[in-house]
Structures are given as structure tokens and as C-alpha cells.
Amino acid sequence: MESAQQDSLLHKQLFGDHFIWGVSTAAFQIEGATNIDGKGVSIWDTFTKRKGKILNNDNAEIASDFYNRYKEDIDLVHQLNIPNFRFSISWTRVLPNGEGEVNPKGILFYNQIINYCLEKGIVPWITIYHWDLPQVFEEKGGWTNREIINWFTYFVQVCAQNFGDRVTSWIVLNEPAVFTGAGYFFGIHAPGRVGIKNYLLAVHHAVLSIVAGAKTLRAILPNARIGTTFSCSHIEPFSNKTRHINAAKRVDAFINRLFIEPILGMGYPVNEVPVLKGIEKIKQQGDEQNMQFAFDFIGLQNYTREIVKCSYFTPYVFAKLVKAAKRKVETTSMGWEVYPPAIYEVIKKFNGYKQIKDIYITENGSAFDDINANGVIDDTKRLEFLKNNLKQVLKAKAEGYMVNGYFAWTLTDNFEWAEGYHARFGLIYIDFKTLQRTVKSSGKWYAHFLK
């Protein structure tokens, strides 16, 4: 009874008539067709072929088969009453060699997606870069090579010129903290590089590329709404001891502040993380100005909180995360703590930056071990996660914090990077043997909520 009463307080109308509702996806995770119709090779195509890098040695050669089933999936977006559909552009599908000649079949594919969305009354949102760097560039250093700024700018230009006549909402780059950290420091994501030197180069070049890409979009599409997204976790110290509090501040600087602050003109958070001073040796004349851009909106992507304790044996950050399993709290199948107040806290935190013009939640979701019982997927835990996170977003909005959109992650189950097909985040279940789609209880609830 109490749960029903709480749910009755959660009305779409309470968020306001101009609140933006949507669902987010990423090209490499859903499209498949990795070597079809002229597509080139990305770092994730290469990485998934390295034995032991992906759980169960899964690959994305078929993924969710969105390449062949995009109309079916967009029809499902329409059926779920979702008015905004966020998807990304595969760099090597439109530019097989990363630069130079454009692939007409790649351009046609994304034009078909855009046109079909518009036909169904769905607003298309494009993410230009969602981690699938062309392999030819990785062989030249990838994000550690300063030339990436020019390579990326050309890719942005191609996207703007081919899709900008119908797409008005753009996201330059997805979660730089993740692809630089996991891909260029820890080596657990593509391209599998490790070390502080690779990491610092990748970080700085990503910041410069975000801004260069945004400026390119603004020049070609002056009336477009331009944003970029950041992965955010609510960070708390293990206890109120000073060493744990300071450790939490250092982790917060790496996870939440590292990219937003230079883009806002505040520079890198070197006081909390002195190793970032190494970027000063990388900087060239004019970089300070070329690190700043006034975005129309910032996308925040939150899934959990992290508890941090001091660890003098961990280089550079001198801190470590206390795993959720050790804290005996509820977790998702990713091992992440289920903690809905985290989304409220990150909204509150980013509202502290007065330079930010607008904030959307561009990803929020959960992975659980779904069971298909004769065509019924009763994903109660995901449904509760969705409701409770929306309540926290509403709480933030009711308290006067700026947050004007929410995009669920994700539409269908997909290829979840290093987790392969183990982690299911979708509102729609996919049988990866038959590729049959089945709307889960969470998807049905979201559809009812948005109706």
C-alpha cells in the first residue's frame, strides 16, 4: 500500500511540460554488421578479438542487430511513448579509414534512422563519439596523438554536414573519464593501453577534441543545441577520518571534475591530484583558450555511488573503492550498489557550477539477471530502480536544482563492452539466439508513465 501511494506521487506532469524524456543507445553496442557495407575496423572490433578481454569471449559482430532491425526498434521506441531517441554514429561506418573518403552506405544508414524517427514523431539526438575510434588512428597513437583533434574535427564536420539539416540536438563525446581511464590507463577497455603517460595525453587531447568538435558544430549549425556528456558517481568517504575524506576528494576529482572543470575555464583539478600537473608539460600555446566552450547543456550519466578509503599503496590517487559486495548492500549484476540518492547528489553537485546552462540526465539504468518466462520478463528490480531514480530527479527539481531531461539506459539488451552479453540493461529483452524482442515490465511501466 505504501509503495502504491509513493508511486501515485510520481507523475510525468510534475516534471513540467518542457522536461525532455528519452532513451539512449550506442552504435557499437547495438548495430552489429561490423564488416558490412564498407564499414572499417574500430578499436573495439580489434579489442574483442583479443582472447580473454571480453567476458565469455563475446563479440559485437551481430550485437542487437540494430543495423538490420532499426525500423523494428524505432517502432518499439514509438510504442513505448518515448519522444526522444539518442544514438551514436559509428566513426568507421561513415569514414572507413577514419578520414578522407566518406562511405555513402554509412551516410545512408544514419539518414534512414533519422528519417524514420521523424516519420514516427521521435526526435533524434546524435552522439558523435561513443568510444569506437578507428583502428587506423590507434596505430598512430589514438588519443595519445595530438593529431586526434584534427581527425575528430573532420568526423564532426562530416556528421554535421550530412545530418544537421534534420538533427538539432547534438552530444559531442560520451563519457571521456571512462574511455581514457579504462582504455588508456587500466587497459581493461579498448584499445588496452596502460600507464600514466598514455592516460594524461589521452585526457588532454580528449578535452581539446570536445571543444574543437563543439566549435565545429556551432560554426556549421549555429541554431543547434550542443552538449557533451560525463559519467558521474556520487563519492563518499569510508568514514569521517581525515585520510578517508581526502581520499574521497581525490577520487571525486578524477571521476567527476577532471573534464568538466577545464571546459568551464577552471583548469584541471591539480590541487587534489598533483599527478595532473604532468599535463602542463603536454600543453601547447593556445591550449587554455581551446579547452573552453559554453555548452548549451551538459549530460550527466549516473548509475551508482562509490565509497572510498585511503590506500597508500595505490599510486597517484592513494585511494581505493570499497566494493559494494564487501559492504553487503544491494547490487546490480555489474556489482554496482543500488543507491538512487546518488542521482540527486550528482545533480546537486553539478548545479554548483554556475557556468552550466542546462542539465539533462543522459544515461541512468541498471543491469539485472532477467528471466524470460514464456514471453514475460518481470524485471521488478529494474522497475523499482527506474521509479526510485526518477523520484530522486523529481526531488532535485522540486528543490530548485536545474535538471530538465531524463534518458533511460538503454532501449534493448546489448553488447555491454567488457561484460559482453552478460549484463542486461535494456527496457526490452533480446534473446541473443533468435534476436526476438520482448518488452520487459520496466519498459511497459516507462511507456505508461510517458503516455
> Which amino acids are annotated catalytic?
175, 363
Closest CA to 31 of 95, 87, 115: 87
> Cell numbers of 239, please?
568514514
Cα separation of 135 and 26, whole Å?
18
Query: What are the Cα distances from residue 49, in Å, to 52, 54, 180, 229?
Result: 9, 9, 20, 28
Pairing of the two strands 359-363 and 123-129:
unpaired
Cα separation of 174 and 182, whole Å?
13
Q: What torsion do the CA atoms of 429, 26, 145, 204 make, to the nearest 10 degrees?
A: -100
* 287 in Cβ contact with 208 (< 8 Å): yes
Cα separation of 227 and 293, whole Å?
10
Closest CA to 183 of 155, 205, 159: 205
Q: How is 417-448 classified by DSSP, letter by letter?
A: GGGTTS----SEEE-TTT--EEE-HHHHHHHH
> Cell numbers of 257, please?
571534475
